[in-house]
């Protein structure tokens, strides 16, 4: 074949190569242009997952173009496009502390906000359990032991005197505060993690656990309220309970998210749907663990040291306000916005 015959053949080959693969190149170029113009926040999750796929596809095209000696302009274009994509995806690595701060400042609140429906359901189920148990124990104190075991009650039961119940919510033994905080953190973390883990069984066990958790709360409140200590017990509970109960409700919501994705996968395979839901649920569970650490400190130390009803109420209310503002009122920022930060 003469040199005059080779040139047209290469031209045809290059044209067909462009036709077959140019859609991916133009798509990658479009996404890169948006990021380079400071509009990374306009990218959704599908765009972010698509970026590395398009980058690898472009590298493959570049390799083929070099091996088959396609026209120089095409090779130059693909080299430039691949270089731009590399620096966007891998060229700048934020320090670990910045990635952590970005997670807590943006990723975690966004994940909790995205699960608001499940959170409302988890809260509603807990409240229903609490109200039902309160009514049952108020009507018949014998129901109390159907919700609270003797080990958990520790003398806080309908047969206790007013003074006995008052003594359990006032006064403290400083030598045992650290141990008490550790014990309560492990216990509460176990309840939260169980609520999350049970979500895989179509969320039904998680719902039952939320109901039971509400029942234990309602039964205990009924006992103290019957002795005229409702406000004091509420304050004693609030100093840590606003954080602890919020955390457990969020854990239940995370479990429900996975359970509903498993039960109703839509067009996805059941496992793929559960995995997709598990990403946001895992983010929420990181926040749950942090909240339980805070609740453990408040419960084991703060609640024992602060012995004033008003102070306990103010601390509990302030903690609840903090979590609500942090999760729901903080301005939203897209996950893609992290790519705008050097």
* pLDDT of 82 over the 80 cut: yes
Cα separation, 338 vs 51, in Å, equals 15
| Per-residue pLDDT reduced to its tens digit, 136-151 | 999 999 999 999 887 7
Residues 6+ apart with CB under 8 A from 217: 126, 129, 130, 133, 245
Q: Are 137 and 214 in contact (CB under 8 A)?
A: no
Q: How far apart are CA 157 and CA 155, in angstroms?
A: 6
> Would the pTM count as exceeding 0.85?
no
Which of 42-51, 157-166, 313-322 is predicted least confidently? 42-51
- The larger pLDDT score, comparing residue 89 to residue 320, is at 320
Mean pLDDT confidence for 312-318:
94
Task: Evaluate whether 255 touches 195 at the Cβ level (below 8 Å).
Answer: yes
pLDDT of 182 strictly over 70? no
pLDDT above 70 for 4: no
- Confidence grade of residue 285 (pLDDT, cut at 50, 70, 90): very high
Contact 211, 129 (CB under 8 A): yes
Whole-angstrom distance, CA of residue 60 vs CA of residue 43: 24
**What's the mean per-residue pLDDT of the chain?**
83
The mean pLDDT of 116-140, rounded to a whole number, is 96
Tell me, what DSSP letter sits at residue 333? -
Query: How confident is the model over 185-236, as pLDDT tens digits?
Result: 676 777 788 888 888 787 888 999 999 989 999 999 999 999 999 999 999 8
Is-contact 320 249, C-beta < 8 A?
no
């Amino acid at each position: 074949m003469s040199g005059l015959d080779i040139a047209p053949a290469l031209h045809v080959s290059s044209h067909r190569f462009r036709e077959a693969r140019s859609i991916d190149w133009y798509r990658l170029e479009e996404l890169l242009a948006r990021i380079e113009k400071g509009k990374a926040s306009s990218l959704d999750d599908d765009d972010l997952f698509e970026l590395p796929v398009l980058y690898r596809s472009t590298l493959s095209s570049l390799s083929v173009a070099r091996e088959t000696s396609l026209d120089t302009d095409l090779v130059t274009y693909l080299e430039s496009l691949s270089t731009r994509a590399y620096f966007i995806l891998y060229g700048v690595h934020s320090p670990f502390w910045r990635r952590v701060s970005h997670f807590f400042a943006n990723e975690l609140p966004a994940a909790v906000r995205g699960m608001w429906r499940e959170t409302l359901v988890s809260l509603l189920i807990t409240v229903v359990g609490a109200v039902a148990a309160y009514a049952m124990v108020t009507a018949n104190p014998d129901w109390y032991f159907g919700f609270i075991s003797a080990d958990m009650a520790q003398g806080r039961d309908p047969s206790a005197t007013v003074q006995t119940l008052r003594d359990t919510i006032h006064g403290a033994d400083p030598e045992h505060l650290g141990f008490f905080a550790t014990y309560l953190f492990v216990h509460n973390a176990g309840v939260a993690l169980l609520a999350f883990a049970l979500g895989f069984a179509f969320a039904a066990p998680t719902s039952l656990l939320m109901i039971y958790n509400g029942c234990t709360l309602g039964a205990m409140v009924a006992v103290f309220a019957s002795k005229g200590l409702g406000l004091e017990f509420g304050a004693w509970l609030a100093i840590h309970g606003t954080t602890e109960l919020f955390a457990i409700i969020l854990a239940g919501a995370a479990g429900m998210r996975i359970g509903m994705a498993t039960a109703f996968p839509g067009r996805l395979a059941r496992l793929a749907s559960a995995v997709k839901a598990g990403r946001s649920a895992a983010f929420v569970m990181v926040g749950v663990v942090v909240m339980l650490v805070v609740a453990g400190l408040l419960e084991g130390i703060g609640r024992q040291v602060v012995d004033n009803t008003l102070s306990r109420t103010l601390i509990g209310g302030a903690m609840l306000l903090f979590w609500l503002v942090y999760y729901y009122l903080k301005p939203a920022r897209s996950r893609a916005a992290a790519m705008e930060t050097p």
